[in-house]
Amino acid sequence: MWGGRVLTSFQHWVPWLFSLGLLEPIGVTGLTGSAFLIYPRNSVARRLANSLPRAKFGLVTLLSAVVIYLAVLLAWALVQLWRSWI
């Protein structure tokens, strides 16, 4: 959750959206994971089980964005290399 705090120090809507939409649900799920380990049949643990799909979605979205960014970066580098040979 510290990463979300750092990102929100920038006064722009993109870091805020990234932080609040993806990082915070993953951080909250990580912090509340002890409820599942200590009291797995507690009513609080059952309610917190709803945050796991959201955290998984955030992680998959984040990893997909990183992979797409790297693919675009590699394609751009290859196009630039190809242009330099012509």
| Residue 43 confidence (pLDDT) | 74
Whether the model clears a pTM of 0.75, i.e. scores above it, the answer is no
Helix, strand, coil abundance in the chain, percent, nearest 5: 85, 0, 15
Q: Are 4 and 22 in contact (CB under 8 A)?
A: no
Residue-wise pLDDT for 28-68, tens only, equals 767 767 667 777 777 767 776 777 777 778 778 878 888 99
Separation CA 49–CA 74 (nearest Å): 39
Q: Are 84 and 76 in contact (CB under 8 A)?
A: no
Tell me: pLDDT of 2 over 60.
Answer: no
Which domain does 65 fall in, by range? 2-85
Q: HSE of 53 in the Cβ direction (CA atoms, 13 Å)?
A: 3
- Structure token digits, residue 7: 């990102």
Domain total of the chain = 1
Task: Work out the average pLDDT over 18-24.
Answer: 68
